Every structure is written in C-alpha cells, then in structure tokens.
Structure 1
Amino acid sequence: MILAFALLFAAAPFAATSSHAATRAGVEAQFRQWLETDLWPEARRAGVSKPVFESAFSGISLDWDLPDLEPPGFAKPKQRSQSQAEFRSPGAYFDEKRLQGLAASGRSLMAKHASTLRKIEDRYGVPASIIVAIWGRESGFGRAKIPHSAVRVIATKAFMSTRPELFRKEILAALKILERGDVSASAMKGSWAGAMGQPQFLPSSYLDHAVDFDGDGKRDIWNSTADSLASIANYLAQSGWVRGRDWGFEAVIPEGVTCALEGPDRARPISALTDMGIIRISGRPFPEHERRAAGMVLVPAGTYGPEFVVTPNFYVIKEYNNSDLYALFIGNLADRIGHGGSAFVTPWGKTGSMLRSDIARLQASLERQGYDVGGADGLPGYKTRRSIGEWQARTGQKPTCFPTPQLLGAQK
C-alpha cells in the first residue's frame, strides 16, 4: 500500500559518470541481461514457466521516470537534503472537504453493495464501513486511474532502485500471479510504487490476501468490486482484526493524567483508563464490552490536538499502512460512512513546523539520555511522543508529548 507521507527524495535527472560513460541504451541492455541470467533462474525455481516469464517482459523497458533510482554506471541523483523536509501539524492530513466527499460517496456505495458487504462482514468480521473507507482512501472506490504497468514498475525498481531486494521479492511475486492466470501482464496495473488494483496491494500482499469472492475462479482486484472488498477484509482479518470491537474513540485526558501513557505496549483495560478520569469526548460511556477489553491512549499531536482511546483494531489498520494518521483517517471516515460521524471535536492545534533533521536531532538527544524514541528518523511516532512527555515530567515541565523548536533548544 502507498504510505500516507510524501516522498522525502525526488528523482533527479541522471548524469553519466565520466569513467563509465554510461548511457540509457547501455543500461537497458544490462537490464535485459539481468532478466535472463539473474532473475529468470530464480523465477524458474519459484515455479514460473518460461512462456509466462517471456510474455511478462515482452516489450518491457525500464521506467526512467520513477523516483529513487540508481542506474548502474550513472552518478547518483542529487537528493533533497532531509533538512529541507518539514514535519507540519498532523491536522493538515485531515482535509475536511475531502473527507466529506469520500463519506458521501462511501455511504452511497455501501448502500449499493449492501448485500455483498453483508456477506463479507459475516465471513471476515470486519465492519463494512471500515472496508469501504479503505477502498475509498486507496483508490477512490475503484475510480482512480491506475495507469502503470506493475511489471515494468516493479522490475525497474528490482533492477536499479535504492531498495532492490524489496522489489526483487515483489517482481517474483508478480510472476507467480501471472503463472496462476488471475490476470494478464498487460492488465496488471499498479501505481508508481508498484501497488496494484483497487485495494493497492503489492504483489506479495496479493498472494497472501487476495480472494475470489464473486466465484469466477479469479482473484481480480482490478475489475471485481466483490473481490476487491473481500480482499481488503481478508487482509485485515489475517492481520488480527478483533470481531465486534470498534477502532477507537475520541477522548478527553484530564489534567493531571500524563499524555505519556501512549502506545500499544501500554495497553490496559479501558475501565482502568476511565478510572483515571479519561472519558469519551461525546460524554457517552464506553460500551460495556469495550470497557472490559484492552485499550490504548493515542495522542498524535500530543496535547495540541485530539486525544483518543483506541483498540487493537487501530493497530490492525496500521498493518495496512503504517501511519497513525492514516489509521485515524480511516477510522474517522468509517464513522462518517457508517454512523453519521463528523470531524473530530477537538481541533488540531498549530504546532508550527520543524525540519525533520531537527526532530531527528531531538530524538538523538533523548536517545543519549536513555529514552526509546523508536529511532532518530525525524518522524514523531508514539515512542518519540511519550519520551518527550516523560522527559518533560522528569525536568519539572508540563508534558505536551510533541516536538517543538523550544524543546529542541532545551536539549542543548
């Protein structure tokens, strides 16, 4: 699936090194050689037949317009320094106009496909509203144009990207799909990142999770609505979706209760959270079956935005796309589609923007003091947020659990 955050590095025109005097034509020739002498033997061992292999790559050339390429013999493309990338308030992710539009379409399509969705929900235990929300977010309910040849994109990335081993696995998976006959190479369309069809599955995810729900003998996530919706549900079910539970609830954390409670490894019964004074922002009580089960605090903007109590299903949604904001987007959109929900009550505060390199410096400083921030990558995940809160409490400050320029200055 495509990640919620934008790419850090943009592709730049390639310059040939003077020592190798590489040309695109020369690299294309190396690509054809790589297909025959490197990829084909492994594909054959994986059960791919020669006719399928040759058909898959007939007329295929490298896609030089993709990002993150490192062609052999060429100078590495100039990359935008990480210091130029900014991390802005999480609120920018939740465009209200877009959410309203997706919700309106989602409600209409959920009614249109109610019978199919009912059967899918019965089989996999995943609510129809969650399935439709992911369908809408990933491919505009199957309406988005997905123009790229998945074989071409993934083969290019396997041959000369910055992550060739990842995409080598995916091109072998794509060849296995072609061998099974679910789709032809020409119809195997994907995004520029190699994610395919309406659910935006990478080929390995297709092999693991795609299902034939319409009974035509093929797992068609490109043209079959039933197969696409059921495949999304199967993905979530196999990732651990807990039948009968919600994804989460917007909440209020009272004064005196730290925001540093956050994280799936700090789960506790929701009743224990309510004993601390944490309540739903709606004022309604948590459903009794939820109170008895595990829940986790989530503060994606620290104390500068909405606060949540989430269930393990929130982290199942993150298996689809490993982003807190993506999972919140899906949860909120699903609530709008299925339950008449609306925007989060608490507004997203203006936290300003920090360079990702500065956030990474803040994380590295906390690491040196013994905090587990989840890696100094410039992205403030829950381990970073709670480490900030714990450091603030230790130094006599009110925990806010979110990086700011002032916090970075205090670390010096």
Structure 2
Amino acid sequence: MSGRTEGGAKERKLRTLAVLSLLAAFVIFLLSLPARAAPIDDQFQAWLQTDLWPEAKAKGISRKTFDAAFIGVKPNLKLPDLVMPGEKPTTPEKQHQAEFGPPANYFAEKIIRAVTAGGRTRESANARVLGLIEKRYGVPGEIVLAIWGRETGFGAAKMPYDAFEVLGTKAFMSTKKDFFRTEVLAALEIVERRLAPVNAMKSSWAGALGQPQFMPTSFLKHAVDFDGDGRPDIWNSTPDVLASIANYLVHHGWVRGRGWGFEVTVPAKVSCSLEGPDQGKKIADWAAMGIARAGGKPFPAGELKAEGFLLMPAGRSGPAFIVTPNFYVLKEYNTSDLYALFIGHAADRIARGDAGFAGAWGPVGDFHRSDIAALQRALEATGYDVGSADGLPGFKTRRSIGSWQAKNGKPATCFPDASLVAQLK
C-alpha cells in the first residue's frame, strides 16, 4: 500500500513538472513575439498629436482650429488606396474613378446629355456673369459650365464626407501620404483664415471641396470672390464658383482665343505612336500628312500655323483628335485624357447642339489596373518609356504599345488588348 502511494506521488510530481515546463516554454514563446500594434484609431490619434499638430502649429494654425477640425474624427478605412501601417503599397487591382474604365462608358450619351442640357439652361440663366467672366479671364462660358456640370452636376451633388476625416486618413495611411499631408494642412488654413467654417468642410472621397471640387491647396490659390461679398464661396455662390473655375484654368495657362481641339480622321500611314504633348506640329503639317477634320470641314485658317497635338485616347479603337495647348490645361483639372476630352466635347455641344463624335469607341479599356501595371513594367524592362507603371494607359503607355507592336510585326493599335496583356505581363 505504502509502495503504491509513494509511486503515485512521484508520478504526480513528474506530471506537474511537465506541465510547468510547458507553461514556461509557452511564456517564453509569447515574450519572443513582437509587441502587438496599438489599435489603428489609437495610432491615428497619436499621429495627429505628435506628428501633424507640430507642423500645423508651425504654419500658424491655432490649437482651437486644429481641435475643432479633428474632434471625433477617426480614420475611415473604407476609403480607397490606403496602406495599413507596416504594410507596403501595391498597385490596386480595381478602378475607383470613371476615368479608369472603358471610354465608351465614360462617354455614355445620358451622361453627356445631363451636362449639355443642364449647361444650356444655366448658360441662359447666368449669361451676364458668364459674359463678365469670359471678358476678364478669356475662358469661354461653355468650358466653365461643362466643368461645373461634370464635377458636381451644377452643384446638385452632395458631398457626403467630412473633409478632415478624408484628408486626415489619407495623410496618415494612403499611397500618397505627402500629397494629402499638404492638403490637410491647407484645409486647416482655410478654417484658420475664416474662409469657411469647419462644419462646411464637406468633401468627396478624395477630399475635394465645393461645387468646383477644388482640393484645399487649389482653393487657396485659385478661388475668387466674384460676387463682391468679401470672400470666395465655392459652396454657395454661383458667380464665385464659375469665376474660380475660369481663374484655375488661366493660372494653368489657358490661351485666350483658342479652342481645345478638333475631331479628326487619321490615315493608316500615320503612326498612332506620334501621339502626345511632346510631339507637337503645326496643324498645317498634320493636315499635310493626311489628317483631316471629321465631317470634312477645313481647319480654321487662324489655326493652321499654330501648334497642335495628336490625341488617340483609345488608340485605333476610338475617335482621334488634334488638340491645342488648352486641352492640356483642361487636363490639369483632372489628369485624365478622357476627362479633358469630355469637357471639350460637352462645351462644344452646349455651344452648338447635341452632335456626338463622328468616330465610335471600340470595346476597349476594361482591364484591372494591376494588369496594365504588369504590362507597363514589361515594356519598361525592354526600354520603353511608359511614364510610370501606375496601371493607367496614358499617352506614353499607348504610344509605347504602338511602337512595340510595329517593332514586332503586329498592327499598331496603341492600346492594350487581352492578348497583349497576357503576352507581356
């Protein structure tokens, strides 16, 4: 009996020692793990107070303004193009803007007509103001109206986001943190200078403000008081909205007296790789190469000696254009060829009626950004200048595709297609 008892005690002791050894090993394992990151909300608040606030203070922002702007604000993790702390940015697979999709969708007739019909109505209602704006800035009223209509449906679109939530989140954790840091500091300056109260600072998902959709730095540079009430109000004053748009274009180089461009036909002998703002020619020289205006009209005599640029936003699968420097001024408003073309085309239709493009958009452009980025990297690896591997088929990517196709014995289309993406990525 006593022998069995002594044996059982010894066994229990061994089991206890084994359990303690396992617990000790587990504790050592836990201690070897990196400390858990603080919750993202806490990281954001710490960043606000220890990183952003000192710079804001140095730029003249008061503590009162800073606290009012960020009271109750948390990072909005539903916004696009964010990078979680500790992670590396990647090319997004999907698009977040209409400009990144198929051109045919972007120029859907119902979308264009909403802008052109609304523009004609407002052209009549605001004729005096538009006349004064065109006299002062040299920007046609139809251009200003087209931008106003495209950006916010002539002010009807609601801005559902708190600008400081958007700009703060993106300055803290987006793929373009430096850009948005500058913008959130500019937004604080707007409030500090009493150009707008905190509760009026509503924005798009990208942090753009008011009816013209100005980023805060653009507001500070280009917004004007055109109604004479003492402050530029791009939220509620139609004269200020329209004049601010025109002022923006002038500051980016709008050439008084020139339009934006002409739809043209491009013969097969003219390479689509001649596209781009760095390959300009006199319009007379383009005409001598066989490029003609769509519909048979001659180019205006006053334009023949001026510089123009070939634009083929869908390569050989869509309409082609000879554009003026003013086209690239429109592109400063939104860095997309399709956007600038939409504005120019809508302005023409506001002025002259609802006539669409002579050329048709082919079924192109329905790719993930990650696919295009892979194609761009492949072209870069063989020496082509695609601008950047950002997943967007801009003019450098389009003409690089055309040059690669011609070099490899393929018809030059100057736009990615499924077989090309598969072959090069």
What TM-score, normalized by structure 2, do the two folds share?
Answer: 0.84
Separation of aligned partners in 2, 1:105 and 1:311: 26
Deviates more, 1:368-377 or 1:174-183: 368-377
Which one of the candidate residues 298, 303, 306 is aligned to 2:316?
303
Pick closer, same or farther for the CA change 1:366–1:60 going to 2, 3 Å: closer
Alignment of 1:129-278 (within 5 A): 129-278=142-291
- Residue 323 (structure 2) pairs with residue 323 (structure 1): no
Unaligned runs of 5+ in 1: 1-17
Match of 2:359 among 346, 363, 368: 346
Which one has a larger percent helix, Structure 1 or Structure 2? Answer: 2
Once residues 308 and 103 of structure 2 are traced to their aligned partners in structure 1, the CA distance between those partners, rounded to angstroms, is 22
Contact 1:149 / 1:189 at 8 angstroms: preserved in 2? Answer: yes
**Cα distance in 1, alignment partners of residues 280 and 125 from structure 2:** 38
How much does 1:69 deviate? 3.9
Determine which structure has greater relative contact order: mean sequence separation of CA pairs < 8 Å that are 6+ residues apart, divided by chain length. 1
SS at match of 1:273: helix
* Alignment partner of 1:101 is 2:114: yes
* CA distance in structure 1 between the partners assigned to 2:53 and 2:381 by the alignment: 47
What amino acid is aligned across from residue 82 of structure 1 in structure 2? E
What does the per-residue CA deviation read over 1:229-257, in whole Å, with 9 as the maximum and x for residues that have no partner?
11111111101111111111110012322
Deviation at 1:408, TM superposition (A): 4.5
Q: Which segment is superposed worse, 349-358 or 371-380?
A: 349-358
Structure 2 distance, partners of 1:332, 1:270, is 19
**Deviation digits for residues 287-345 of structure 1, max 9, x if unmatched?**
11211110011111111111111111111111110011111111111111122142111
Q: Which range moved further: 320-329 or 50-59?
A: 50-59
Contact 2:318 2:362 in 1 (8 A): yes
Equivalent residue for 1:82, pick from 77, 86, 93: 93
Structure 1 residues 32 and 372, CA, compared in 2 at 3 Å: closer, same or farther? closer
Q: What is the aligned partner in structure 1 of residue 385 from structure 2?
A: 372
Q: Does 1:34 align with 2:44?
A: no
Give the direction of change, closer, same or farther, for the CA distance of 1:171–1:297 in structure 2 (3 Å limit).
Answer: same
The alpha-carbon distance between structure 1 residues 410 and 310, as it changes in their structure 2 partners (threshold 3 A), is same
* Cα distance in structure 2, aligned partners of 1:55 and 1:252: 56
Pick closer, same or farther for the CA change 1:274–1:112 going to 2, 3 Å: same
Paired residues for 1:39-54 under 5 Å: 39-54=52-67
Q: Counterparts of 2:370 and 2:69 in 1: how far apart (Å)?
A: 42
Amino acid at match of 2:63: K
| Cα distance change on mapping 1:63 and 1:371 into 2, 3 Å | closer
Aligned to 1:280: 293
Equivalent residue of 1:82, what SS? coil
Matched residues, number: 391
Conserved? CA contact 2:312–2:319, under 8 Å: yes
Deviation track 1:17-39 (CA, whole Å, cap 9, x = no partner) reads x955556xx54444444333322
Distance 1:364 1:69 in 2: 22
User: Normalization by structure 1: what TM-score?
Assistant: 0.87
Share of identical aligned residues, percent? Answer: 55
Give how far 1:362 is off. Answer: 3.3
Q: Aligned to 2:264, what secondary structure does the other structure show?
A: strand
Correspondent of 1:387 among 392, 400, 403: 400
Q: Which has the larger radius of gyration?
A: 2
Q: CA deviation at 1:353?
A: 4.1
1:81–1:111 Cα change, 3 Å: closer
1:178 Cα deviation from its structure 2 partner: 0.9
- Quote the residue 2:134 is aligned against: 121
Task: Look up the SS of the partner of 2:372 in the other structure.
Answer: helix
Paired amino acid for 2:115 = L
Map Cα deviations across residues 263-302 of structure 1 (whole Å, 9 max, x no partner). 0000011011011111100211111121111001111111
Quick check: 2:203–2:210 contact (8 Å CA) kept in 1? yes
Q: CA separation in 2, counterparts of 1:409 and 1:53? A: 50
Partner Cα separation in structure 2 for residue 214 and residue 316 of structure 1? 25
Aligned to 2:19: none
Q: CA RMSD in A?
A: 2.7
Structure 2: runs of 5 or more not aligned: 1-32
Tell me if the contact between 2:309 and 2:324 (Cα under 8 Å) persists in the aligned partners. yes
Q: Is the 8 A contact 1:332 1:341 kept in 2?
A: no
Provide the C-alpha distance between the structure 1 equivalents of 2:170 and 2:306, rounded to a whole number of angstroms: 43
